[in-house]
Amino acid sequence: MNQKEINNLVSFGKIVNTHGVKGEVKVTIYPSNFENDLAKSNLFFIKDEDLIKKQIISSIKRHKNIYLVKIQGVNNINQIEKYKNFEIYIDKESILKNNYLYHELIGMKVIFNNDLIGIVENYYIQGNFYSLSIVDNEELSIPINDRFIKNVNKINREITVDFPEGYL
């Protein structure tokens, strides 16, 4: 890989452990609105010291809050053990323009009807979904989904939101 290709990688998750003896790994994906892209993709990258290694996914399945990933050409636990706790990366260009990691939203302005309603202080899990904690004079919680979040402008660091009637 050349330097431009390396700079185009984004950290996406982590190999947290092995699974079984046939070379599968357990992968956690950082909270994002594009975590399903790993399931759609057929590859990811691992940074092993100074080398970037492309890994082709031969199978992937979701198991509770992790993914079980089988890497092509890896057939036993000994081949994959050294990658435990390694970050995994994907190519930024394989992600749609309006996708984001949730931690990128912290500090962004939140706009509703062209008015600033607050700043994203944090995100948290609430039941089966994530929400943003918005702070201005008081705290407001906004679910992270397409019904509420209409646009994320990373350049201007603004999130445009819409609320169902009676939400505010």
Interval 17-70: pLDDT, tens:
999 888 899 988 876 655 556 656 677 778 777 778 888 888 888 777 788 888
Q: Would you kindly state where each structural domain of the chain is located, as residue ranges?
A: 3-94, 102-161
Residue 99: name the closest of 44, 146, 136 by CA.
Answer: 146
Summarize pLDDT for 117-165 with one digit per residue, the tens: 999 999 888 777 788 999 988 889 998 888 899 999 988 999 999 988 8
CATH 3.30.200.20 fits 3-94, yes or no: no
**Per-residue pLDDT at 39:** 58
The architecture (CATH level 2) of 102-161 comes to: Roll (2.30)
| Prediction pTM value | 0.61
Residue 10 scores a pLDDT above 60: yes
Angstrom distance (rounded) from CA 44 to CA 91: 8
**Per-residue pLDDT at 112:** 93
Residue 68: name the closest of 76, 80, 59 by CA.
Answer: 59
Angstrom distance (rounded) from CA 62 to CA 100: 21
